[in-house]
Amino acid sequence: MVRTQIQLTEDLAAQVRELAVRQHVSMAEMIRRAVARFLESSPETTGEDRYARALAAAGKFRSGRRRLSTDHDAAFAETAGR
């Protein structure tokens, strides 16, 4: 790893510290995660990068609804209030 130094406002540092404590990681780890997410969401990422991230996320979340993969249009319409 490369050591670097940053300056945060007191409020931002407090928020990062609180989140780090809740997640049982260091502030440095929280900042590394934030930078990684920022870079991943950068508009300069390629379509292949976005596709790979979407593919990696597939199946990792549960909606609590059965048959959502086949009834997604109806579920979307219901959620959208249509």
Q: Rounded distance, CA 35 to CA 33, Å?
A: 5
Phi, psi of 76 (to 5 degrees): -65, -45
Please answer whether residues 27 and 20 qualify as being in contact, where contact means their C-beta atoms are separated by less than 8 angstroms. Answer: yes
- pLDDT for position 13: 97
Please answer whether residues 48 and 56 qualify as being in contact, where contact means their C-beta atoms are separated by less than 8 angstroms. Answer: no
Report yes or no on whether pTM surpasses 0.85.
Answer: no
Helix axis angle for 27-40 and 10-23, nearest 10°, is 100
Which parts of the chain sit beneath pLDDT 50?
none
CA angle 19, 43, 31 (to 5 degrees): 20
- pLDDT for position 82: 62
Give how many domains the chain has, as a whole number: 1
CA dist list (Å): 72 to 7, 52, 76? 45, 22, 6
Q: Is residue 34 part of a domain?
A: yes
Q: Is residue 79 part of a domain?
A: no
Range of the domain at 20: 7-45
